[in-house]
Amino acid sequence: MNEWNTYRVKDVAKFISEKANDYSLPYIALDNIVSWDGYYIPSDSTSDGNSNVCKKGDVLFGKLRPYLAKGYIPTQDSICSPEFIVLRPNDLINNSFLLYYLLSSSFISYIRNQVAGVKMPRTNALQIGRVSFALPPIEEQELIVSYLDKECNKITKEIDLLERKVDCYSRLRRSIINRAVTRGLNSTIQLKSSGLRWIPYVPIHWDIKRIRNFFKYRNEKVSEVDFAPLSVTKNGVIPQMESVAKSLAEGETRKKVCKYDFVVNSRSDRKGSCGTSPFDGSVSSIYIVLEPQNISPDFANYYFRCNDWIEEFYRNGKGIVADLWTTNYATMRNIEIAIPPIKEQQEIAIYLDEKCAKIDTIIEKTKLKIERLKELKRSLINEVVTGQRTIKTSDL
């Protein structure tokens, strides 16, 4: 590292803060950028009229929650969210090298410490500009970029393959659940017309009744001091997550949940967030809490989380816009469903427990491999751009 010289970020790049006036240009939102990867994922995001200019070859870095490590180099002149800091590199630095540095663990760790303790942390040009780092000659920067491009692309391809594997198994899991809870386990059973739009045919011996025949509505107000707060997610009911904003209200402002109750979020912006609770506790008033009466809690946990039902549930809702679309219990209670006898419900739940456990094990092991590859990639970038690993032409 004898030839590496120390610079501040503001010595090698100009910070651009120019408001856009041409909204026909492509728009880059913070959500378009993959954390730690510097990749752009297309979406239907559009500017809200408060965008900044960014040129082809500029380096963007997300200033909101900078620990997410969102950076990108536009491939054409564009406009971007004001949540990006726009850096225009000078002749001292290769723009891809700068991006790799901004996505390095060393830089992210430093910036994270600068904004620690803030609820919605944002970094700024002043904080980033004064960061000092060692920089090799431009020829070595280009060598490093070529090496990292090659190695990171290889790792990314491995990650993509594994993520496709996770997606395939996740879809298989959903398919198995959907089939079992709407058709049962006997593939030769005679079917009958159900009269239900979301499940046209069901086994001939299944009952078709309204939800109110299988559950009792629980609407008891309690305090979160006496009943621990719970979060209702797409993966079921869990102890309240740290990321959830804590309620400042005092008194009995929450709904009581007993073990084995079924809880569902009535809002479409939490679509599919529901499940049978394994805990006693409490939830926000926007949730519907149901006490099973003539239905197996384990079966309900699968039945009401299958895709066909989720879509039917929200079709019955009302609202002005998607984020405010709500399906309340007054409507839900009258929706008709097709349910097998209790013994068969329990058999289906046991079958799905076994099948899903095997699939979940495969998914978890695959996700662990993905995380290890992502960590390998981050370590590689950090070692190379900080000079801990020397790159030679023979490495290309």
User: What radius of gyration, in Å, describes the C-alpha atoms of the chain?
Assistant: 27
Q: Between residues 315 and 394, which one has the greater pLDDT?
A: 315
Q: What is the pLDDT at residue 2?
A: 60
User: Which residues have a Cβ under 8 Å from the Cβ of 354 and sit 6 or more positions away?
Assistant: none
Total-model pTM: 0.83
Q: Taking a C-beta distance cutoff of 8 angstroms, is the pair 232, 265 a contact?
A: yes
**182 φ, ψ to 5°?**
-110, -15
Model pLDDT for residues 115-135, shown as the tens digit of each residue: 876 678 899 999 999 999 999
Indicate the SS3 state at residue 294: coil
Distance in angstroms (rounded) separating the CA atoms of residues 63 and 125:
9
- As to burial, measured by CB atoms within 10 angstroms (0-12 exposed, 13-18 middle, 19+ buried), residue 297 is middle
Model pLDDT for residues 218-229, shown as the tens digit of each residue: 999 999 889 999
Q: Is the model's pLDDT at 139 over the cut of 60?
A: yes
Q: Is the model's pLDDT at 246 over the cut of 80?
A: no
Q: Is the model's pLDDT at 1 over the cut of 60?
A: no
Angle at 129 between CA 23 and CA 40, to 5 degrees: 40
**20 φ, ψ to 5°?**
-80, 145
Q: What is the pLDDT at residue 307?
A: 87
Q: Is the model's pLDDT at 172 over the cut of 80?
A: yes
pLDDT average, residue stretch 248-252: 61
Q: What is the pLDDT at residue 176?
A: 96
Q: What is the pLDDT at residue 328?
A: 87
Q: Between residues 99 and 267, which one has the greater pLDDT?
A: 99
Angle at 68 between CA 63 and CA 69, to 5 degrees: 75
Q: What is the pLDDT at residue 269?
A: 66
Q: What is the mean pLDDT of the chain?
A: 91
Q: Which amino acid is at 337?
A: I
Distance in angstroms (rounded) separating the CA atoms of residues 339 and 345:
8
Model pLDDT for residues 74-127, shown as the tens digit of each residue: 999 999 999 999 999 999 999 999 999 999 999 999 999 988 766 788 999 999
Q: Taking a C-beta distance cutoff of 8 angstroms, is the pair 144, 391 a contact?
A: yes
Out of 39-43, 218-222, 287-291, 302-306, pick the least confident: 39-43
Q: Say how many Å lie between the first and final Cα of the chain, rounded.
A: 20
pLDDT average, residue stretch 347-354: 97
Q: What is the pLDDT at residue 250?
A: 61
Q: What is the pLDDT at residue 321?
A: 60
Q: What is the pLDDT at residue 244?
A: 56
Model pLDDT for residues 354-382, shown as the tens digit of each residue: 999 999 999 999 999 999 999 999 999 99
Model pLDDT for residues 7-36, shown as the tens digit of each residue: 999 999 999 999 988 888 999 999 999 999
Q: What is the pLDDT at residue 133?
A: 95
Query: What order do you get walking across the sheet with 221-222 strand by strand?
Result: 221-222, 254-257, 281-283
Q: Is the model's pLDDT at 180 over the cut of 80?
A: yes
